[in-house]
Amino acid sequence: MNLFVTCAAGFESLLADELNELGLRDVRVSRMGVYARGDVPTALKTALWSRVAGRVLLTLCSGPCKSLEDLYAMARTVAWQDHVPPRTSIAVEVHGSGGVFRDTRIVGLKVKDALVDVVRDHCGSRPDVNKQSPDLRIHVALKGPEVTISLDLGGGPLHERGYRQRSVDAPIKENLAAAILLRLEWPKFAEAGASFVDVMCGSGTFLIEAAWMAMNRAPGLDRANSAAASWLGSRSDLWETLKTEARASMVSASQVFRGFDRDERAVRACRMNLSRAGVEGDVSAARRSVEQWPDFELPVPGLLVSNPPYGVRLSDEVQLVGLYSQIGEFLRNKADGWRVGLLTADDGLGKLLGIKASKVTRFYNGAIPCSLVDLTVNEANVLHKSDVTIQPSEGFAVHLDPGAEMFRNRLIKNQERLEDPMKGVSCYRVYDADMPEYNVAIDRYDDHVVIAEYAPPKTVDAGKAARRWREVLLVAPEVLKVDRTKVSLKIRRPQSGKQQYTPANDMGEPCVVQENGLRFEVDLWQYLDTGLFLDHRDVRVMLREKAQGKHVLNLFCYTGSATVYCAAGGAKSTTSVDMSHTYLEWAQRNMALNGFTESRHRFHQADVFSWMERNRELFDLIFMDPPSFSNSKRMNRTLDIQRDYLGLIRRALHLLDEGGELVFSTNRRKFRLDEAEVARCGLKVTDVTKSTMPADFDRLPPIHQCFVMQRL
C-alpha cells in the first residue's frame, strides 16, 4: 500500500526514522510528511505506535483536476466497494487549496457523491454521512490543480491520544510534544534512569508523553480507531490484536517526573490528565511560580523542558524579557548537568538565557513559527555575566551583560540629574538615545513608563539591535521602579500612510496624569503619541503666563493641553481648531477634567487652512504647533511645514489683533525660519527655543523650535 504519513513541519526526518523502525519501506521525506509503503498490519501498527505522526493516509487516487466533473470522474475510479461497507458512516474532509476549486465544501460533496454512487452500484445500498463521529474518514488534499484522495487509517488526528480531559490556553499538540522529546533524545535519558522536569507544565502534555515513552506505552492504546474495525481492507480483529501486544510490552516507570506551573487551574487540569493517562502515581504536578524557583532543588540530572508563553502583543515582550532572564538565572544556578529544551517563538529571547545553545530546531506550533532551543547546562556553555545584578521580581537576581550594565548606569545618572529640575513634575523624559547603541526614548508618566524604539540605521546589525532592545526592557523597569505590567512599548520609526495611525498596543486604558497642577488624559498604549507632548511643557507654561485676560486661539490644537494652560492662566476665551474629531473630543475631556466647561471655550473641527481663510474674529494670542507633514484626505492640500510655514503665519496674521502675539512651534529637526521674511510681514520675532526647552530635553539638536512673533 502507498501511504503518506503527516507530521508538523520541521520534524519530517524524525518521523522518517520512526517509520523505518516500525517496518515501513521506501520511506521518502516530503514537506510536512513522509511517503512510505507497507502492508496492512504495518500500516495499522504505525497508527498505533507512531508518536510523531499526525495522520496515516492510504492513497487511493491522485491526479490533476480542472473541473468538478474531472474530480467526480477521478473519484469514481476508486474501488470504493473494496474499502467501504454499505452500512458504514463516512465523512469527507478536505484540506489545502488551489487550482479551480474555491469552495472546499463542494469538493467534499463531489467526492462523497462518487463514493456513494460506486458503493450503491455494487452493493445496492449506500453509506451514511456522519461528520462528527464517522466509521471511516476520507481525506482529500488540494495542492494547486493536483488532488489526492486517501483513506485515513488512524480514524482521525493521531495527536488525540484520549487523555486530555482538561486543557489550558494554547496547549501543545501531543504528537508535537512527542517529536520534541525525541529530538531531545529523551528515550536515551529515560533508559539511563534520568529525571524529567517541566517547569511550565500547563495541562501536562510533555509529562504524559515523556512518561509513556519511559513505559514503552503505545500512544494509540486509548484510541478506538473505528477505521481499523470498519475498513474492508483489514481483518476485524487485527487492531485489537495489535493493542493486546502493545499492552504486553509495557514496563513500569522508574524515573522521577515532576511538573510545575504558576497557574493553579493549569495544575488541576494537569492532574486530571495524568489520572486519565494512567500515570498519576508516577508523575507529580504542583503549583510553583517563577519567583519560587530559587528555593527549588532539582532531582538527579536529566531532561528539563519548558514551553513559556509566546506573547501576542507588543507589550507582552516586557514580561517575556524578564521571564527568560529569570529562567536563565535558574538554569545557571540550579541545573548544572541538565539537558534543556526550551520552546520559543523568538530566537532572540533564548539568548537572554546566558547559555550557549547546541542546536536550534525551527518548526510550527499550529500557525506560529517556533524554535526549539536545545542546550546543556555546564561551565563550558555558560556565557559569563558581570557582577552587577538586578532584581526584576521578588527573590530573583539576574546578572547583566556589560553593555546592559553601562545602560543601567546611564539611566541611574539621568534619574539623579533630573531629581531637582523635575520636582512637582510627574511626566518627563528619562532617557533619549543618550548612548547610540541603546537607541530608545524612555518617558515616565506617573507610575507608568513608555519605551519607544527608534529604528536602527541600516548599518547596525539587526541581531545586535534586537539584543540591546531586550536589555533595555530588562533594565528600565528595575531602575525606574515600575511594575512590568505598566510598561508600554512603542516602535518609533518613520511611518507612512495609515501606518502612523496603527495601534501600538492593546493592553491598557487611558489614564489621567498631572502636570503643574493641571490634569490631562493620556493614552500610553494605543498610538505612538500619548496625547501630551512632554517637550512642550515649558511652552505651555509660557502660554499660561501670557494668556491672562486675552482671547486665545489654538490652531492644530491636538488634545488641547495648551488650551487648558491658557484657560488656567485666566484667558477671556479660548478657541481650539483641529481637523480630527477624535482629538477635539479629547481636548474637551481635558478641559472638563480641569473644570473649564463654559461656553467661552469653543471647539471647531475643520481644516486649519480653510478655517483661517473664512474666519474674521481677532485674537490677542495665537498658538500654532503644526505637524511637520500631513497628507490627510480631509485637507485639500498636503502640508510640509518647511515649505508652508510662511503661508500659515500670513493667514494667522489676519486673525491677530494689534500688539497681539503669535507663538509658533515645530518639531521639524532641520526647520529653518527666515526671520527677515517674517519681519516683512510686520512681526517682531523672538527665538525662545532655549528658554522653553525643559531640563529633560536639554540636548542638541533641540527637539523643537519655538518663536514668539509680536504684531507691531
Task: Check which CATH number belongs to the domain holding 435 and give it.
Answer: 3.30.750.80
pLDDT in tens, 136-149: 999 999 998 899 99
CB 531 within 8 A of CB 586: yes
How long, in residues, is the chain?
Answer: 712
Q: What is the pLDDT of residue 393?
A: 56
Same-domain check for residues 291 and 367:
yes
The pLDDT assigned to 495 comes to 47
Q: Are residues 434 and 469 in the same domain?
A: yes
If asked whether residues 641 and 699 sit together in one domain, one would say yes
Same domain, yes or no, for 557 and 696?
yes
> Which is nearest to 576 in space by CA: 586, 568, 587?
587
Same domain, residue pair 199 and 120: no
**Peptide bond just before 701 cis, omega within 30 deg:** yes
Segments of the chain with pLDDT less than 70? 312, 315, 385-389, 391-396, 492-507, 633-636
For residue 25, list its beta bridge partners.
Answer: 37
Q: Which CATH number is 148's domain given?
A: 3.30.2130.30
Evaluate whether 137 touches 91 at the Cβ level (below 8 Å): yes
- 148/190 same-domain check: no
Question: Mapping DSSP to helix (H, G, I), strand (E, B) and coil, where does residue 348 land?
Answer: helix
Give the pLDDT of residue 368: 85
**Same domain? 591 vs 674:** yes
Whether 169 maps to a domain, the answer reads no
- pLDDT tens figures, 488-497: 998 765 544 4
Instruction: Clarify whether residues 306 and 414 are in a common domain.
Output: no
Structural domain boundaries, residue 25: 2-152
Does 393 fall in a domain? Answer: no
Does a structural domain hold residue 400? no
3-state secondary structure 267-296: HHHHHHHHHHHCCCCCEEEEECCHHHHHHC
**Maximum CA extent, the chain:** 105
Asked if 93 contacts 134 with a C-beta cutoff of 8 angstroms, the reply is: no
Looking at residue 400, its pLDDT comes to: 80
- Predicted confidence at residue 396, as pLDDT, reads 62
Residue 574: name the closest of 599, 593, 595, 592 by CA: 599
Structural domain ending residue among the three candidates 152, 184, 207: 152
Q: Which three cell numbers stand for residue 270?
A: 494537569
Q: Which residues make Cβ contacts (< 8 Å) with residue 678, sequence separation at least 6?
A: 646, 649, 685, 709
Has residue 278 been placed in a domain? yes
In a domain, 399, yes or no: no
In sequence order, the β-bridge partners of residue 518 are 515
Rounded percentage of the chain residues whose pLDDT exceeds 90 = 74
Of 376, 397, 422, at which residue does a domain stop? Answer: 376
Beta strands in 400-484, from DSSP E residues, in sequence order: 427-432, 440-445, 448-454
Cell of 447: 507610575
Q: What was the pLDDT predicted at 226?
A: 86
Residue 198: predicted pLDDT: 96
Q: How many domains does the chain have?
A: 4
CB–CB of 445/329 below 8 Å?
no
User: Distance (Å, rounded) from C-alpha 10 to C-alpha 233?
Assistant: 32
Residues 344 and 490 in one domain: no
Does a structural domain hold residue 267?
yes
Q: Do the Cβ atoms of 176 and 159 come closer than 8 Å?
A: yes
Q: For residue 126, give the C-alpha cell.
A: 449506500
Query: For the segment 611-654, what is each residue's pLDDT rounded down to a tens digit?
Result: 999 999 999 999 999 999 887 766 667 899 999 999 999 999 99
The span from the CA of 607 to the CA of 234, in Å, is 77
3-state secondary structure of 563: helix
Q: What is the CATH number for 612?
A: 3.40.50.150
Same domain, 313 and 424: no
- Does 187 share its domain with 295? yes
**Whether residue 127 sits in one domain with residue 52:** yes
What is the SS3 assignment for 362? strand
> What span, in angstroms and rounded, lies between the C-alpha atoms of 8 and 53?
8
Q: Is residue 96 part of a domain?
A: yes
Measured in whole angstroms, how far is the alpha carbon of residue 326 from the centre of its chain? 20
Is the residue at 344 inside a domain? yes
